[in-house]
Structure 1
């Protein structure tokens, strides 16, 4: 994300890009923008930048199946500290297996 903000500058996020295009003198710093709103909307350039960098590794390694129960959080029925320490370990498989 930092690399994207360095490379794209104000074109990283919709509000900073809008400020740039309007010439309004508003915030053009993507780092300041995301510090204030971590849910900042990406521009189409930023979306493409991220997609281009994820596509090759995902094609090589495959995507995770997030519906797999191993990714579920354990049901917590006690709010006492250390409750997660009692969660049983779930074995994992490497992609080669």
Structure 2
């Protein structure tokens, strides 16, 4: 079930209830979307760093897990926290 979407530059990002998100190309709608899966709970927020090298996405889920994704590579790792409390709002800066 689709629970959210985001228009980011030339990409449309959709988030599903099952913990996956898809990145669609707006300039080439016939291209297959890039699918990211790794969360066990609902994805609650995404942050995209288009200027970073490599380009990175951070995602958080209902259970407090923060995942790092590297575009072109895929899974980049799980960011460890002291406690995995629920994250309702998430913001990040490139530094």
TM-score range, shorter chain: under 0.3
Larger Rg: 1
TM-score (norm 2): 0.20
Which structure dedicates a bigger proportion of its chain to helix? 1
TM-score (norm 1): 0.20
* Bigger RCO of structures 1 and 2 (CA < 8 A, at least 6 apart): 1
